[in-house]
Structure 1
Amino acid sequence: MSEGAAPHVLLVVAPYYTEIVEDLCRGAVAALEEQGATWERIDVAGAFEIPGAIALALDAGTRGGRRFDGYLGLGCVIRGETSHYDLICNEVARALQTMAVERLVPVGFGLLTTENGAQARVRASPEGKDKGREAVRACLGMIALKRRFAAGAS
């Protein structure tokens, strides 16, 4: 992690698939704590609400509320029988990417998008693919990069 204060990250969690998402959170929290980062967690109803919750937190920060150095969206969407899966996955990814680029905020994408529960469990598990940790690495890396550019380093 770069110099300066420990990064403070907001975890926005959609616990629809509770066991899977808690595994994602375990990996994410372990990675944050290993890097000396602090964090807060809020839960939202589902994956679709993750970008909105981050936007609300950003808005509160610009009005003097709690500021976060980065944001982490954690959740899981498993393909079902309808096109709902595609709509949710695409719109959440698009909204988070747009927010990261247009509002210049570090966002870690920890939304699993899988065909079935078995795939999700392997990807979420800290003993498996540990995608929660991976999302933290991306978020902390972007926080460090933002700090580097803010300090005028090339």
Structure 2
Amino acid sequence: MAEAARRTLPTYPAPGAHVVIVEGRFYDDLNDMLIAGARRMLEAAGASVEIFTVPGALEIPVAIEIIRRQAAEGRRRADAFVALGVVIRGETTHYEIVSNESARALVALATLEALALGNGILTVEDFEQAEARANPAKGDKGGDAARAALALLALRRGEAA
């Protein structure tokens, strides 16, 4: 079966924006690819990038909330967020808990706080699927998550239609 062509999505310039990437680092090579894709997209938009690392996907929403509060207090800058990580199905139900709860928490946080947040936490069956999605030359889900954060930032600023 032929692979479908990807849509051409708009990109949003964000000169001067400061975007915080929070990564749940569990698979070094995969995370490095996600970060490379996100960083490339954000820097091309003119944004500065800061990266925070936490142990896994469940800690990402907590870290984002901590950073958001610090920004609200004027102790840190954060115009938008990108969540990156990889959850690969294993032999137990832990996969479902981590993938469902991290996604639920990110959506709740983003909607309650009106955050410009792109979710790039991959939830996959195996390493091959993860590599295909993380690799900037293939799936570029890190770049996609950064693009989503930039789109929401533009919308929040009133710059998107």
TM above 0.5 = yes
Matched, 1:51 2:61: yes
Distance 1:61 1:138 in 2: 21
Deviation at 1:2, TM superposition (A): 5.6
Q: Per residue, is there more helix in 1 or in 2?
A: 1
Match of 1:138 in 2: 148
Q: Deviation string for 1:11-67 (max 9, x for gaps)?
A: 001120110111001111011111111110010011110000000001111222112
For structure 1, list consecutive stretches of 5 or more residues without a partner in the other structure: none
Match of 1:35 in 2: 45
Supply the RMSD in Å over aligned alpha carbons. 1.5
8 Å CA contact 1:26–1:126 kept in 2: the answer is yes
For structure 2, list consecutive stretches of 5 or more residues without a partner in the other structure: 1-11
Correspondent of 2:95 among 73, 85, 93: 85
Matched, 1:74 2:59: no
**Alignment partner of 2:157: what SS?**
helix
TM score, norm. by length of structure 1: 0.93
Match of 2:4 in 1: none
Identity across matched positions, percent: 41
**Alignment partner of 1:73: what SS?**
strand
Matched, 1:116 2:145: no
Distance 2:120 2:79 in 1: 17
- What does residue range 91-106 of structure 1 map to in structure 2 within 5 Å? 91-106=101-116
**Alignment partner of 2:158: what SS?**
helix
For 2:123, give the aligned amino acid.
T
8 Å CA contact 2:30–2:86 kept in 1: the answer is yes
Match of 2:23 in 1: 13
8 Å CA contact 2:86–2:130 kept in 1: the answer is yes
**Alignment partner of 1:148: what SS?**
coil
Q: Deviation string for 1:48-100 (max 9, x for gaps)?
A: 10000000001111222112111111000000001100000111101100011
